[in-house]
Chain A
Amino acid sequence: MVEVRVENVRKTYGRVEALRGVSLNFRSGALTAILGPSGCGKTTLLRSIAGFIAVDAGRILFDTEEVGGLPPQRRGTAMVFQNYALWPHMTIFENVGYGLRLQKVPADEVRRRVRKVLELVEIGNLADVESRRPSALSGGQQQRVALARALVVEPKVLLMDEPLSNLDAKVRQRLRVELRRLQKQVGITAIYVTHDQEEALALADTVVLMDQGMIVQAGTPQEIYLKPTTAFAAEFLGVSNQLEGEVTDGKLVVGGQSIPYTGAARGRVTVIFRASDIQMEEPSAPPRAGTVALTGVLEESLFLGAHYRHYIRLAGGMVMADSPDLRRPGPVRPVLPVEKVPVYGEQAT
């Protein structure tokens, strides 16, 4: 098992800075997800580690060995691609065995190891892998084969570039579980790039959030989800409500309300909270301690299956609130527990 360390890595394409000094440790034997919107530099980082991209500055280390100058094949990584990249003219068996044949492994050992790894990834029918081509398989099965192809060479690091994004939702959820099981079983250091926050949270031991070529936040899925440190992190992790506000003289002015505020932020701020954290009360109900009460009008409620989503217009914008019951449109008081109202200063966005 290998620990991957990235130190102050930079990469510029023309005038676009894809990586702006990224430093990170990928724990050995753990699955680290790099999460971020498209163009945030996550794929560039992954491909730099694989060796497909030469970085402009910084170091990449596998344990204590610096691999920055090595070509891809000498780094001992194996990659799983979004489009599977299974060679269409080779059979499933030839695809998986290709890496071993390049290493001049004897034919019977290739056969043994390919069979073993295909069993590991649970390719159902092993009988005809030597005659069937990848195109005969479903997308999910193809990605299992691609995973087998990567694992069979026993790489030091497994790199996955949005491996599940081409699959439909159901297959994706099932494969997620299996990927996690497999990675733990093999015990390999794995790096997983995705733009899907749910996927990152479900799969990873550590989630690294990136934006504009920099790391925004790194931590366990729980930390990332529950304690986003910036407005961007909060927003990207699916927090649905965002209000502009201002802090002056110990007061936070937000949504047409002035609320006592003792935090550190000053000036223009962003207030971010989840739809599920809002409770709705009648405007006439008595105020409760430890809450922030806003004033608004419920305009519309949509039934989403698990709950209703209510759209409430405030003086300073629109918020969404989830609740299991249907309410009638009209004046309403959205109420938030104080500890669930993180305030982010302007510079953090």
Chain B
Amino acid sequence: MLEMINIAIKTIFIENMVFAFFLGMCSYLAISKNFNAAFGLGLAVIVVELVTIPLNWFLKTYFLEPGALAWLHPSFSAVDLSFLTFLVFIATIASSVQLVEMVVERFFPALYTALGIFLPLITVNCAILGGSLFMDERDYSFGESVFFALGAGIGWFLAIVLFAAVRQKVRYSNVVKPLRGLGLAFIITALLGIAFMGFAGIKL
């Protein structure tokens, strides 16, 4: 159990999706102008990570891995479908995002209007596909992948909320013209990333 919590803490702070792997930078930069939208998108990412990573774990273990189809019939044990990984993962993600979108539209209309176009864009948020691919590459067990999903989601949420807060302050400062907007956003992210590197000293 402790080990799994360690995985979650590690993915939130030390191997943060945004600051260590730059995953999900597109929506991270685009949505962070408004704090509330950033908060909502962060929550949506947590939910989608928690849905897709365990789901992809099942698909990977029972369909895609070499020999994974042995449960169907012993003669299938030589089948290796792992080259289909990308296609299956992205299809799972696209359909779960569609589901999450429908649920949010039905039960949280305010959040739905705030997120607007960006909910469908979670499909192409690399943090989501990246989470599934890391789960695949690091061979997590089911429990580990759930905690990894939680950590990845919370880490991304934390990053975008922090960044949106800083960005709101920056709006009132006098910045060199060519650096305004995007250029400065990168440098702020870098500074946040350097701050997060401080967590690397934690021994788990």
Q: Do A and B come from one complex?
A: no
Chain B positions within 8 Å of A, measured between CB atoms, are: none
